[in-house]
Amino acid sequence: MSASNPDLVHALRGGIVESFHRGALAIVDADGATVLALGDVQRPVFPRSACKVMQALPLVASGAADALGLTDAELALACASHGGEPGHAATAAGMLAKAGLGTEALECGAHWPYNDSAIKALAAAGAQPSALHNNCSGKHSGFVCLGCLLAREAGRDPAEFVRGYIRPDHPVMREVTAALAAATGADLDHAPVGTDGCSIPTFAFPLRQLAHGFARIGTGAGLSDGHARAARRLRQAVAASPFHVAGSGRLDTRLMQRLGERLFCKVGAEGVYGAALPEAGLGVAIKMDDGNNARAAEVVLAAVVQALVRLDDDEQRFVQGLSDAALVNWNGITVGRLQAASGLRGALRGLRA
């Protein structure tokens, strides 16, 4: 921890910086060349949910998505950290039904929805959340669908076959981990291994490699043909159904609703963000030191999008409002601003020049 990453986001109040967020940012092209590195982009970081699109590659590349007739919404949910809104839970249930299974197949655990309205609606109905409301239920339903295909190919009972799919040595998880390694080029056999919030393994590797993986996801370059086609299909599915990758009011949904296939972006826990900028052929990876997403990584991502994605004037204003936002108190009074630091802005301007 001795190296000090630059401050990338400032929270201002009363004319001074009240709080600030340090972090690292890597922008890499599909050949793996580093276009911008701010802070330590070699330190191993857990990508957490930012890499879900990479973990979903086998679902499509295996043929499982086609065999089960998964829709755009379902493929988007397979890449999602969703808010547990009714539309998310129902879509996950639909994916499981296509695999001939039910909620009991999910091994992600249950938690109350992230979405406030969904919490209140469940509470008002006297209901409790299930694993369908877990923000990772779409990814896990995708794992179950992949497992269903593998079971059929092996002549095995799907329910029995998929059980324990969260274990590192399960055939499903081996496929998922191999896809992540192939996309990022990371040596996962020798990487620090942790357990993610949803109980699957998560591997720590350099932020630079996560950015490289996103450049490949955005361009297909450096991927196998099957993975390249799968990446394109997943990006198109998310662009067609951005609600399902996050949810009401969430940044990934809001950005991709506006920008469509010009951007694929995905939040991960602990202040991680990954993004593919297909037109520029670039991949982006962000890790905030303090693990803050909503107030830090999101602002950095917005500044990157503003600088490097082709935007019309309306879109510029929209994204500017995300990278330099008013902080408003309970009476609706503007009390400060949350903004991308000038050093970050300057570094991004340098790239465009």
The site for a second copy (CB under 8 A) is made up of 1, 4, 7, 10-11, 13-22, 44-46, 107-112, 116, 119-121, 123-124, 126, 134, 192-199, 202, 204, 270-271, 288-292, 295-296, 329-333, 335-336, 341
Beta-carbon-side half-sphere exposure of residue 310 (alpha carbons within 13 Å): 7
Please spell the DSSP secondary structure of 295-344, one letter per residue. IIIHHHHHHHHHHHS---HHHHHHHHHHHEEEEE-TTS-EEEEEEE-HHH
Query: Closer to a second copy at the Cβ: 158 or 271?
Result: 271
Euclidean distance between CA atoms 140 and 215, whole angstroms: 25
**Residue of 234, 301, 256, 209 whose CA lies nearest to 79:** 234
Query: Closer to a second copy at the Cβ: 234 or 297?
Result: 297
Euclidean distance between CA atoms 31 and 243, whole angstroms: 32
Question: Residue 290 Cβ, how far from a second copy at the closest point, in Å?
Answer: 4
- C-alpha to C-alpha distances, 204 to 44, 56, 209, nearest whole angstrom: 5, 18, 10
**Residue of 300, 288, 213 whose CA lies nearest to 251:** 300
Question: Residue 199 Cβ, how far from a second copy at the closest point, in Å?
Answer: 5
Query: Closer to a second copy at the Cβ: 124 or 353?
Result: 124
Alpha helix (H) ranges present in the chain? Answer: 52-55, 57-61, 64-67, 72-78, 86-98, 116-124, 137-153, 158-162, 171-184, 207-219, 225-240, 251-259, 298-308, 313-323, 342-352
Question: Residue 157 Cβ, how far from a second copy at the closest point, in Å?
Answer: 24
Question: Residue 124 Cβ, how far from a second copy at the closest point, in Å?
Answer: 5
Question: Residue 21 Cβ, how far from a second copy at the closest point, in Å?
Answer: 5
Query: Closer to a second copy at the Cβ: 258 or 295?
Result: 295
Question: Residue 280 Cβ, how far from a second copy at the closest point, in Å?
Answer: 29
Question: Residue 121 Cβ, how far from a second copy at the closest point, in Å?
Answer: 8
Euclidean distance between CA atoms 298 and 285, whole angstroms: 12
Query: Closer to a second copy at the Cβ: 9 or 284?
Result: 9
Query: Closer to a second copy at the Cβ: 14 or 155?
Result: 14
Query: Closer to a second copy at the Cβ: 13 or 310?
Result: 13
